[in-house]
Structure 1
């Protein structure tokens, strides 16, 4: 099943033009920034018609506590209530989008898939790639019936991530500078999980290609064959056991989405570096090599 949808294809689906006709998907707007205020005012000013705003900090993440990391998984009941409020129904397609970076949209995609929804896609390139109509009208959709069933996608804890770094491939989706330990703007310690391989998530999108290659809007994923080649160069194929972490479990979901585009399954370490580095008993590696 497809995990991303082009703006052109989504526009067709929203107007019911595919043959045979399809019911338009439920739309979720999950615009978010790592630092800064809520993006809800921007949503209220202009969004895709019918899209419901979902807040990453309060609905796609749980409360931060000791040892949780900065964006722990939400309580399934809280998450389920937010999805039903947004009109999400079991068995009915969902499309999520953000401002264009793709991290927040991928987090929503991953959570819905983890919670058992089988038909979820991300708008490729996000709002920045959308050329259709926008509106300031805030919809009030009928209550959905989605009930989370956590466990449909694999999850790693800290011990599992450490083990996978030895037996499979554990990808670090943060920037190369943070992986190497040259800078650490947020977390307590700089560096990476020993054995992890650097794989910045920014290299999965067209904006990282010189001249905006791939014929796509900046922020759109590179073609599946290019992504498969990228991951193959990191030692990954369809049979490799793969895990991904980042700073707090958000951009790692984007890497998992890119892997899915390439036909590769991967587990998420939700606590990520913010959880790992907060525990002084955990080893830390620095430099360009896995260590």
Structure 2
């Protein structure tokens, strides 16, 4: 299921750059958790500060980063153009998937996600390190645009002409609740297929769920869960799909048409 690997595979991966991207939506920085215990050699990156760009009027709650800013972050983490990068979070795959997606979008070819995150590592009896890490600077060059990205107009067209899949919880898709954005509902014409962390654990289950959606593009609330869906599709052996990275938070910020309820 590459790019998803288990703890034993990760431990045997010689020379990989390890990135600790543990993250809590709307919560404090996880820097203290990193200092208290992380995979040996792992460099701390913050999803909001380092992996995504600054939030503006449009672009969503987790916009694309500026290439120059991302390049500086990745070089400081010790990444070269030919590096193998191992990314992990707490285990739900959200921050790790969005980091995986961003690095692949930036042109880094060999990016892997630790299935089960740091919990899987410690459950396997593998050691942790404490304190800060100071890697030698890397020389990576960010080459943006290496994965397919949709903007709002392209997402609307995809919903009409192909299949646009909303991977948020069904109640958010239907517009019954919206805990994060000012407007509830979904993009007109979009289908709903909730993909959770359990779907990352079973390749056969993934293939069965995704087989009816061979030409789908994906979105969520702010491009984080949609990145996890893109990882799931890739892990199932299918081409990495387009992602509307601004997702619902960008859509409603632009005042676009909103649908509620189930699509026919």
The answer to whether the 8 A contact 1:157-1:270 is kept is yes
| Distance apart, 1:24 and its partner CA | 2.2
TM-score by length of 2: 0.95
Find out whether 1:118 has 2:112 as its counterpart.
no
- Pick one of 194, 204, 214 that aligns with 1:225: 204
- Pick one of 149, 156, 160 that aligns with 2:154: 160
Q: How does 1:72-87 map to 2 (within 5 A)?
A: 72-87=63-78
Do the aligned partners of residues 174 and 72 (structure 1) sit closer, same or farther apart at CA in structure 2, a change above 3 Å counting? same
Q: How does 1:4-153 map to 2 (within 5 A)?
A: 4-13=4-13, 23-131=14-122, 132-153=126-147
Structure 2: tracts of 5 or more residues without a match: none
In structure 2, what is the Cα distance between the partners aligned to 1:90 and 1:287?
A: 46
The answer to whether the 8 A contact 1:50-1:138 is kept is no
SS in 2 for 1:136: coil
The match for 1:18 is none
- Pick one of 225, 229, 234 that aligns with 1:260: 234
The match for 1:205 is 198
In structure 2, what is the Cα distance between the partners aligned to 1:199 and 1:40?
A: 33
1:210-256, Cα deviation, whole Å (9 max, x unpaired): xxxxxxxxxxx232221011012xx313xx2x211111111110010
| Distance apart, 1:120 and its partner CA | 0.3
In structure 2, what is the Cα distance between the partners aligned to 1:199 and 1:97?
A: 24
Q: CA RMSD of the aligned region, Å?
A: 1.3
TM-score by length of 1: 0.86
The match for 1:270 is 245
In structure 2, what is the Cα distance between the partners aligned to 1:125 and 1:85?
A: 26
SS in 1 for 2:201: coil
Structure 1: tracts of 5 or more residues without a match: 14-22, 207-220
1:17-47, Cα deviation, whole Å (9 max, x unpaired): xxxxxx3210000010111110111111010
> Structure 1 residue runs of 4+, over 3 Å off?
none
The answer to whether the 8 A contact 1:49-1:137 is kept is no
